[in-house]
Structures are given as C-alpha cells and as structure tokens.
Amino acid sequence: MLMPNNMTGHAPPTAAARPQQQDAYVDIAGLDKIYPSKKGGDVYALRDVDLSIRRGEFLSVLGPSGCGKSTLLKCIAGLEGISGGKLLVRGQRVTAPPEKMGVVFQRDLLLDWRTVLDNILISAEFLKLDRGAYRERAIQLLDKFDLAAYAERFPWELSGGQRQRVSICRALLVDPDLLLMDEPFGALDAMTRDELNFELQRTWLETGKTVVFITHSITEAVYLGDRVVVMSRNPGRIAQTIDIDLPRPRGLEVRETPAFGQYTAQIRATFADLGIFKGV
Ligand SMILES: Nc1ncnc2c1ncn2[C@@H]1O[C@H](COP(=O)(O)OP(=O)(O)OP(=O)(O)O)[C@@H](O)[C@H]1O
Ligand SMILES: [Mg+2]
C-alpha cells in the first residue's frame, strides 16, 4: 500500500534484492534513427548515440521536446527499427520486442471497455500466457499500488494518477527484467508525482530491474536516476551523462540537499549551453 509517511524516507525500502552486476545490459553504439519524410526532408531523430546501460541500473533520460527520447525508447523496445549503428539487449540484436520487457508509454493506453484487472492482464494475453495464472499477481500489484478497491472498475472511473498506476501494474505483471518508462508521470499533479516517484524507487530497489525512465523534469531525473543522460535536439544526441552519487534509498527530502542542488544546477547549465531553456 502507498503510505504517505513513507515518502519522508523514515521507513525506507530495502536494497537487499538489488543486483550489483556491472555488465552491459543494453548496448548502443553509433545509433542513428531517421524518419523518412516525403515533405521537407528526412528527420534525424537520433544521431550517433552511444549508450551502455548496466543490468539493474536506473537510467534517467532527460531532454527537450522532440529530442528523440521516445524514439530511443521505442528502438530499445523493438517497436521501431534503427537506421544505423548497433543496438543489443542482453547481447542480442534487437529486431523485435525483447523478452522480459515491460513498457509504460507516454499516454497510458488503457482500454476503456475493460476493467482495471483486465487491462493489467492484457500483458499476459499479449504473450499468450495463461490469464488465470497471473490473476493473483495482478491483484497483489493492485494492492501494492493502492488500487485494491479498483480491480473491477473501468479506467474512465479513475484519476490520472490512478490510471498511471494501472499502467505500471500492467508493465510489471509478467515480472520483466527491463522496464521502459516514457514520461509516465508527466501529466500528474506534483503531489501525486512525488508519491509515485517514491513508490517507483521502492519497487526498483526491491526487484533490481533495469529501468530506462524518460522525463522532462530535471528534479525527477536526478531523484530517481543512478545516471542521468541529457539529450539535445536537431539531431537527437546525448549531450552529457552524469553519475548521480546520492545514497539509496532516497527520501524526497534529498531534493533539498546541497548535493542534489549541484546536480540540478549542472544539468541546467548544460541546457543553457545548448541554448535549450523551454520545456525542461
Ligand atoms: N513516426 C514518426 N514519423 C516521423 N517523424 C517522427 C515520428 N516519431 C517521431 N518523429 C520525429 O522525431 C523527432 C523525435 O521525436 P520523439 O517523439 O522521439 O521526441 P521526444 O523527445 O519523445 O519528444 P517529447 O518530449 O515531446 O515526447 C521529432 O522531430 C518528431 O517529430
Ligand atoms: Mg516523447
């Protein structure tokens, strides 16, 4: 259950289950992604991107609108083909969605005619797994994300934050190793966002998943990330990668510390150098 008093960090989640391996889990080198266009020329959505993501790492990806964040995520997810370079997940070239992957999309993509529980069970159906075998886990996830009372309700009866929690439950249903999240909290009010940030950190610490988390928020990127990848646009590139050396678990109050402020200032300075002020 979500417990607001846990958000202070006084009742921290355990880091016991977090794996410590440092091997490359997602290996990207010289990646280009071009969207062909009949009008006005081709769009270089990604240009010469090098990125190595460690197993168990929480990687935040930060950048202005149109810099290629969603494109990068869709390429890793095997939902977009690449135009050049190398993209491996667990050592395998990505030509289709990798196994053991969950995605939370920028829009929540819930089906309004299915109950919350049935929306979560879509993940099992999609992989042709036995729905019945995952029902109990779906109910456990709903309970963990404070949605136990909503299993038989419909998405249109939920708030924005509740809908996003359902999307996260859906992505977690088949216990993926790799969790790709595209601005999952972008449309939420600040308090709900704080709550879900803390909850996501807790889930990650408990399960040791590799997470790629896209956001427009510098604060969110630093709070959650082991590393923050800062992207620039036209074409979409990695401008900077910053290690976030703040102890875990991080209570929300870490955001008021000088060390945290140094990271956010450093990232703001990078955006200023790049001439990017809007939208971040
Ligand atoms: N399917 C597509 N066909 C053509 N161009 C596309 C397509 N998808 C994205 N683009 C272009 O590629 C660039 C990168 O888009 P992308 O959606 O990856 O950006 P983003 O960083 O996720 O932006 P936002 O923060 O607004 O979500 C943009 O110029 C966009 O117009
Ligand atoms: Mg996007």
Per-residue pLDDT of the chain (280 residues; tens, 9 = 90+): 333 333 333 333 444 444 444 568 999 999 999 999 877 788 999 999 999 999 999 999 999 999 999 999 999 999 999 999 999 999 999 999 999 999 998 888 899 999 999 999 999 998 888 889 999 999 999 998 889 999 999 999 999 889 989 999 999 999 999 999 999 988 788 888 898 899 899 999 999 999 999 999 999 999 999 999 999 998 999 999 999 999 999 999 999 999 999 999 999 999 999 888 644 4
Q: Which of 35, 72, 215, 231 to mutate to test the pocket of ligand 1 (most atoms within 8 A of CB)?
A: 35
Distance 216 CA to ligand 1 centre (A): 14
Amino acid 182: pLDDT:
95
Amino acid 23: pLDDT:
66
Amino acid 66: pLDDT:
93
Amino acid 22: pLDDT:
52
For ligand 1, atom 5: residue with the closest CA: 35
**Containing H/E element for 93?**
strand 92-93
Token pair 């308090």 is found at 191
Amino acid 277: pLDDT:
66
Closest ligand 1 atom number to CA of residue 72 = 18
Domain extents for the chain?
107-175
The region, left, alpha or beta by phi > 0 then psi within -120 to 50, assigned to residue 163 is: alpha
Amino acid 186: pLDDT:
85
Q: Are 54 and 229 in contact (CB under 8 A)?
A: no
For ligand 1, atom 3: residue with the closest CA: 35
- Alpha carbons 280 and 271: distance in angstroms, whole number: 8
Distance 124 CA to ligand 2 centre (A): 26
Q: Where are the alpha helices (DSSP H) in 210-252?
A: 218-224
Distance 130 CA to ligand 2 centre (A): 32
Residues with Cβ within 8 Å of residue 30, at least 6 apart in sequence: 48, 49, 50, 84, 85, 86
